[in-house]
């Protein structure tokens, strides 16, 4: 029977192989960590640059959307003002010339009914 402490036999060779395997594993692990650190070091600035450009593009897009919303709000207010002014003009006209306004309304209704009947 072999002595477990025997370094001259098969168990010595197996122990040496196990030690060599551990060294290889440790070296591979160290190399992998170095490679990861190297890649991370190289990728990090690129990611930062892309993130910065994306932030800048987002800010530009938000600024353009805000500007468009402001323009839309102004146009909406102008439209509402124009609508209110037109309604006021129609009221004034109907008060000043009620017979003419009634004639226009009847004529418009007649023309509209003809157009709708043909459809």
pLDDT reported for residue 1: 43
pLDDT reported for residue 2: 47
If you search the block for the tokens 């025997």, which residue do you land on?
6
Q: Which residues of 10-35 are buried (b: 16+ CB within 10 A; e: fewer)?
A: eeeeeeeeeeeeeeeeeeeeeeeeee
Distance CA 7, CA 1 (A): 14
Cβ atoms of 9 and 2 within 8 Å: the answer is: yes
| Confidence check: pLDDT of 57 > 80 | yes
pLDDT reported for residue 16: 86
**Mean pLDDT, to the nearest integer, of 19-39?**
87
Cβ atoms of 2 and 10 within 8 Å: the answer is: yes
């Amino acid at each position: 029977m072999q002595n477990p402490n025997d370094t001259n036999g098969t168990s010595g060779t197996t122990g040496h192989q196990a030690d060599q395997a551990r060294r290889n594993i440790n070296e591979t692990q160290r190399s992998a960590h170095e490679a990861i650190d190297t890649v991370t070091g190289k990728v990090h600035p690129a990611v930062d640059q892309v993130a910065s450009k994306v932030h800048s593009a987002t800010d530009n897009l938000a600024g353009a959307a805000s500007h468009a919303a402001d323009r839309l709000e102004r146009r909406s207010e102008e439209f509402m003002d124009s609508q209110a002014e037109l309604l006021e003009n129609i009221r004034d006209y109907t008060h000043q010339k009620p017979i003419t306004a009634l004639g226009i309304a009847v004529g418009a209704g007649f023309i509209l009914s003809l157009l709708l009947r043909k459809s």
